[in-house]
Amino acid sequence: MTDKKTNNETPADNQKSAAPSTSGKRGHSSAKAQAPKQPAAKKADAPQKEAAATPAQPQPTETKSSGSKTGAIAIALVIALGAGLYYHGHQQTQAQNAQMAAMQQDFQQKLSGMQSKLGAAQQETQSQVSSSLQSTEVSLEQQSKSITGLQMALSEMKGRRPNDWLLAEADYLVKMAGRKLWLEHDTVSATILLESADHRIAELNDPSLTPIREAMHTDITALKAVARVDRDGLVLRLTSLQQQVSNLPLANAVLPEAQVVAEADVTTSVDDWKQNLMTSLKNFSEHFVTYRTRDGSVIPLLSPKQDFYLQENIKSKLETAIKSVYREQGELYATSLTMAKDWAEQFYDMEDPAAQSFIETLDALAKENIEASYPSKLDSQPLITDAISERLRQQVKPLSTEENPA
């Protein structure tokens, strides 16, 4: 009876009973547990049982869900593995980049150090080469000068004429005359030296030296036309004035003139007895005390200290005049003597003969001319130097042609 009841259930009922079993996983597990019990029915009812059991089979759904889970897990594993590989590769790339940057920086530092060392070595080499070249050039120049000097000395010794020393002596005398003229302004000594040089050239009796003698005579005439200044005499006179300053007498105090007072006489009138009495008393008192009225300022005497300063100032002005004589500074010379004269007239006694002689000497010296116009050059000096050089050059030429026949 039970079997029939169970077999008489409709497919709708079977679907209702199977629907809740497929709603969850627990339903699936109960369906699996009940599935083996179905074959225990009778063989006659097998077709109906199979028809009723077909809609309630949960096996394909379970297979799909398990496959989707496995795929999701596999995809997650693949993604995780890819992310790990990417992260690991990124870290390795960063490490390699850092290592490459460090290596590049180290290489640049080494390269810059090598470049600086190379530059320093190059500069040192260039300086050594330049110094060696400079020393070589100096030595070559010195050697060439020494060779030229030796050639000239040798040619002078081989082909010297008997009277060439006279020409060389004349050249020396002309040069000394130039030094005397331009350094010492000594026209007398310069004229004597030029005349001596002219005598030396005249002894050579060489017509080719006539232009030199003409230039010498022109120079001698120009020197004799220069105004002669007796500097030594002027200096000696100024020095004697310096020694005379300390012996000059100082002037006394200068007082203004007293007012003229009319002398009163005693009258014979009795009425003037008061005036006569006063006049007599005044005349009597003048034998003891004299009172005079003066209008104006009094110039006092100099103290000993001021007298010393006055003497030193006058001596200083005379010393400036002495230096101006040698330097030929005419304006400074005249100004110094004028100031010394003014001070002497103001503070010394002009009635004394020594002071008068001092002032007269200063006036005479201030009128002296200490400046002169000198020639700017000697025409004979370059001519005689060229003549000597030409003679030496003619003697050196044969020597050079023998050494260099080409």
pLDDT digits (tens), the chain, 406 positions: 333 333 444 444 444 444 434 334 343 333 333 444 444 334 444 444 444 444 444 455 556 677 788 888 889 888 998 888 888 888 989 989 988 999 988 888 889 888 888 988 888 898 889 888 988 999 898 888 888 877 776 665 554 555 678 888 999 999 999 999 888 888 889 999 999 999 999 988 888 889 999 999 999 999 988 878 888 889 999 999 999 998 888 876 544 455 555 565 667 776 777 777 787 777 766 666 565 655 555 455 666 677 888 899 999 999 999 999 988 888 999 999 999 999 998 888 888 899 999 999 999 999 888 888 888 889 898 999 888 888 766 655 544 444 444 3
- Give the pLDDT confidence score for residue 36 in this predicted structure: 42
- Give the pLDDT confidence score for residue 113 in this predicted structure: 87
- Give the pLDDT confidence score for residue 286 in this predicted structure: 66
pTM of the model: 0.43
- Give the pLDDT confidence score for residue 216 in this predicted structure: 93
- Give the pLDDT confidence score for residue 14 in this predicted structure: 43
- Give the pLDDT confidence score for residue 195 in this predicted structure: 93
3-state secondary structure the chain: CHHHHHHCCCHHHHHHHHCHHHCCHHHHHHHHHHHHHHHHCCCCCHHHHHHHHHHHCCHHHHHHHHHHHHHHHHHHHHHHHHHHHHHHHHHHHHHHHHHHHHHHHHHHHHHHHHHHHHHHHHHHHHHHHHHHHHHHHHHHHHHHHHHHHHHHHHHHHHHCCCCHHHHHHHHHHHHHHHHHHHHCCCHHHHHHHHHHHHHHHHHHCCHHHHHHHHHHHHHHHHHHCCCCCCHHHHHHHHHHHHHHHHHCCECCCECCCECCCCCCCCCCCCCCHHHHHHHHHHHHHCCCCCCCCECCCCECCCCHHHHHHHHHHHHHHHHHHHHHHHHCCHHHHHHHHHHHHHHHHHHECCCCHHHHHHHHHHHHHHCCCCCCCCCCCCCHHHHHHHHHHHHHHHHHHHHHHHHCCC
- Give the pLDDT confidence score for residue 15 in this predicted structure: 41
- Give the pLDDT confidence score for residue 270 in this predicted structure: 67
- Give the pLDDT confidence score for residue 61 in this predicted structure: 53
- Give the pLDDT confidence score for residue 174 in this predicted structure: 93
- Give the pLDDT confidence score for residue 31 in this predicted structure: 36
